[in-house]
């Protein structure tokens, strides 16, 4: 088994669990390498990684059977960049905060690794959204697991986003911006702007306006086989485009086309993983603060 490991900073409380992970990999004789930035942090934190093998993020991610993501959901999104079209399965270990994607708790690392080595897991495929533009804005990383957004660059005036669905005019959004989220991203930025929660297996995209000028404009769900295209008007003659946490400043002359990616992200899930349970836990559904 070959494993690539990527991560971010973690708290002193989770440090013993991180060390335990590397100890287990060493004891099992696993061939693993670590992203260079995370390797540096491990040494600074006093962690013994038990390997000299490193790779640069994201371009040098090695061929591997799995990618371990140690951090929060943002770290896992970076791991998706490393996987790209190779669709390397990603195991998300949550040393961050909310953790909709990284669901393995630090204290569960020994048990979950044991299940992984014994083949007691499933691979859950998640749809990605892919961006095409006049100029290659994001090069080889023109995809996102969570969402694609168009937003204004200044703080004074809204922008106008002309949206087309499969070539037919859909709407002109006078707003601070627009989000197109995957089912995975429905619990992220889209949710905070009033978008619906969508089960990860649904084959849809969610279009959510950000602070629209017209209050009758509402989020919309479309089939993920649809193609969206956009033309933007802005007083500053530019706007921001983002794919997950990566963003670019774009001239209004640039046209944008969005569709489902030809490849998917593959997440490692264990028997006890359940999206509805995650919703109840993370969003405190079913609880009454008065009791």
State the catalytic residues: 73
- Of 124, 100, 274, which is closest to residue 189 (Cα–Cα)? 100
Contact 223, 91 (CB under 8 A): no
Sheet holding 265-269: strands in order across?
A: 54-55, 31-35, 2-7, 66-71, 90-94, 265-269, 122-126
Four-point Cα dihedral 105, 111, 117, 118, nearest 10 = -130
* Euclidean distance between CA atoms 102 and 142, whole angstroms: 22
Token couple for 23:
């100890």
* Euclidean distance between CA atoms 34 and 51, whole angstroms: 8
Pairing relationship of beta strands 177-181 and 66-71 according to DSSP bridges: unpaired
What angle do the packed helices 15-27 and 109-117 form, to 10 degrees? 30
């Amino acid at each position: 088994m070959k494993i690539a490991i990527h991560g971010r900073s973690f708290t002193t409380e989770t440090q013993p669990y991180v060390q335990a992970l590397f100890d287990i990999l060493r004891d099992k004789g696993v061939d693993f390498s670590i992203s260079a930035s995370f390797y540096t942090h491990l040494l600074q934190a006093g962690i013994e990684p038990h390997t000299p093998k490193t790779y640069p993020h994201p371009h040098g991610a090695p061929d591997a059977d799995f990618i371990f993501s140690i951090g929060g959901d943002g770290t896992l999104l970076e791991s998706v960049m490393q996987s790209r079209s190779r669709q390397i399965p990603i195991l998300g270990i949550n040393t961050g905060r909310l953790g909709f994607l990284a669901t393995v708790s630090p204290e569960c690392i020994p048990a979950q690794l044991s299940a992984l080595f014994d083949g007691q897991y499933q691979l859950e495929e998640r749809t990605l959204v892919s961006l095409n533009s006049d100029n290659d804005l994001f090069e080889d990383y023109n995809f996102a697991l969570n969402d694609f957004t168009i937003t204004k660059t200044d703080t004074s005036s809204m922008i106008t986003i002309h949206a087309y669905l499969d070539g037919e005019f859909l709407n002109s959004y006078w707003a601070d911006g627009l989000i197109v989220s995957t089912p995975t991203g429905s619990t992220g930025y889209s949710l905070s702007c009033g978008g619906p929660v969508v089960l990860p297996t649904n084959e849809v995209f969610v279009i959510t306006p950000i602070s629209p000028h017209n209050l009758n404009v509402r989020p919309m769900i479309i089939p993920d086989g649809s193609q969206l295209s956009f033309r933007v008007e802005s007083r500053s003659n530019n706007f921001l485009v983002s794919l997950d946490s990566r963003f670019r400043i774009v001239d209004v002359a640039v046209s944008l086309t969005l569709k489902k990616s030809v490849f998917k992200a593959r997440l490692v899930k264990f028997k006890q993983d359940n999206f509805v349970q995650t919703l109840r836990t993370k969003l405190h559904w079913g609880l009454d603060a008065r009791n």
